[in-house]
Amino acid sequence: MLRALLLSAVFLAADAGAPPPSPIPACVRVETQSRWVPYGYNHIVILENGCSKPAACTVSTDVNPDKQKVEVASGTSVEVNTFMASASATFTAAVACNLH
């Protein structure tokens, strides 16, 4: 019994150093753009699904932390406007997608 507990502890310790899986499948491409409009910049996140299955994604940014849910059909792309007329052109997107 003690040996089984020790082996479990060794396996758990080995897994603790493994990097976490990517929140985005390799076949989903993410791009960000700042587009000038009168009075500021629109923050756009572009999701392109090159997968054989649809993707359910959540999109937020450091400027707008509210998560938006987006469905992206296989072989299509979707533009998500996360903020309109921002004073700053810079932002960082946080995207997570699951295939279904």
Its domain, for residue 82, covers 22-99
C-alpha–C-alpha distance, residues 42 and 40, integer Å: 7
The token pair that represents 6 in the structure block: 């020790």
pLDDT band at 17 (very low <50, low <70, confident <90, very high): low
**Number of domains composing the chain:** 1
Across the chain, mean pLDDT equals 87
What tokens were used for 89? Answer: 């052109």
Residue 59 in any domain: the answer is yes
For residue 22, what pLDDT is reported? 76
What pLDDT is attached to residue 13? 45
Residue 15 in this model has a pLDDT that exceeds 60: no
Q: State pTM to two decimals.
A: 0.79
Instruction: Give residue-wise pLDDT tens across range 44-57.
Output: 999 999 999 999 99
Residue 25, pLDDT above cutoff 70: yes
Q: What is the CATH number of the domain that holds 26?
A: 2.60.40.3230
| 6: in domain | no
